[in-house]
Amino acid sequence: VSAAASPQVAVPCSVMRGGTSKGLYFIADDLPTDRAARDRFLLAAMGSPDVREIDGMGGGHPLTSKVAVVSRSQRAGIDVDYLFLQVWPDRAEVSDQQNCGNILAGVAPFALERGLVAARHDVTPVTIFMVNTDSTATAFIETPGGIVNYAGTAAIDGVPGTHAPVMINFEDVAGSSCGALLPTGNAIDVVDGVEVTCIDNGMPVVCLTASDFGITGYETPAELEANTELRARIESVRLAVGELMNLGDVTNKTVPKMSLLSPARDGGLLSTRTFIPHRVHESIGVLGAVSVATACMLEGSVAARIAGLASIGDELQVVVEHPTGFFTVHMQVDTSSGEPVVTRSALLRTARMLMSGDIYVPASAWSTS
């Protein structure tokens, strides 16, 4: 029996580092429109399911098994639409149930490089509609002479070296997945015997007090992942809290993220260790950090108690400590009603195009219907 020739299919793709994550970036028109066909292709492209994702481009960790699907936007005032997809490394599953602010950092350079957006000035603002959460972001990309610049002096913790800055602004992300900034209506709830603050300022996050779980909150991600009892307790709180946060049954979802908080010890406002939700983040997600920073301002919340902000002005910088350094969130706050309301957040990321070309998958993983 002779084996039939089995060609592979080549699909245009760029690999980009966006902030502290890495992923495959596609133009929407290059992917199957049928969702099941698209997901079958993405699983093959990443090499999932396999903890090492050895037969694909994934890195065997949720932070390096991510996908951005980008298209020119039909929406007024918006340059591009961005759909984020999380490919589970170890399960044959692709989820659109969360957004990702790190992969977002690569969307504007990708769109400029691939001709979806034209460079307009030395710094080109690119407006991005984030499909997963129906919200918008603006990214500012250095484009001297119309060329995307990647070199520069901007440093972000969790990424070696320095690069060109990618500043990102968010204005309308409150309640983007849960319907409200405080989906339970409270700054604090007791769930499964522990106090929690459930918040969504761009990412559904549950703020927890690390010491309630018998840990210091300064452990390494590897130490936390090795603590099976801790993981089980956190998962039990997560499953209980999903419905309360209007997320339904979260058993197979990557949200909410579980952030264990403890007092700052390196000059920040507070320290974090975040389960995303099963692996522990090496730093912290972008919108995850925005949500934790916002919680620091809400009187009575788990985060506010630990952060102990003395006063809240109209402009604020919240420095969130994480396992590999700091994440600074700049916030504009409206205090006119007595309750602080975050009207805009801004933060620094960097991004870099790593590869652009074709990605190959077995022909059996590709169909357009």
CB of 255 to ligand NQM, least distance (A): 8
CB of 189 to ligand NQM, least distance (A): 22
Residue with smallest beta-carbon separation from ligand NQM? 285
Task: Give the residue, chosen from 70, 80, 87, 100, that forms a contact with ligand NQM under the rule CB under 6 A.
Answer: 100
**Binding flag, residue 257, ligand NQM (CB under 6 A):** yes
**Binding flag, residue 101, ligand NQM (CB under 6 A):** yes
Stretch that binds ligand NQM, among 47-55, 95-103, 112-120, 180-188 (CB under 6 A): 95-103
Nearest to 140 by CA among 108, 106, 101: 108
Handedness of CA 296, 297, 302, 307 (dihedral sign): positive
Binding mask 283-312 for ligand NQM (x = CB under 6 A): --xxxx------------------------
Which residues, at least 6 apart from 128, have a Cβ–Cβ distance to it below 8 Å? Answer: 78, 79, 80, 81, 82, 104, 107, 108, 136, 137, 138, 139
Stretch that binds ligand NQM, among 49-57, 185-193, 279-287, 305-313 (CB under 6 A): 279-287
Q: What is the largest CA-CA distance in the chain?
A: 79
Nearest to 53 by CA among 19, 20, 22: 22
Binding mask 102-121 for ligand NQM (x = CB under 6 A): x-------------------
**Binding flag, residue 247, ligand NQM (CB under 6 A):** no
Q: 16-28 in b/e burial notation, b at 16+ Cβ within 10 A?
A: bbbbbbbbbbbbb
Single-letter amino acid code for the residue at 361: V
Of residues 73 and 102, the one with the C-beta less far from ligand NQM: 102
Q: Is 250 left (phi over 0), alpha (psi -120 to 50) or beta?
A: alpha
Residues that bind ligand NQM (CB under 6 A): 20-21, 62-63, 100-102, 203, 254, 257, 276, 281, 285-288
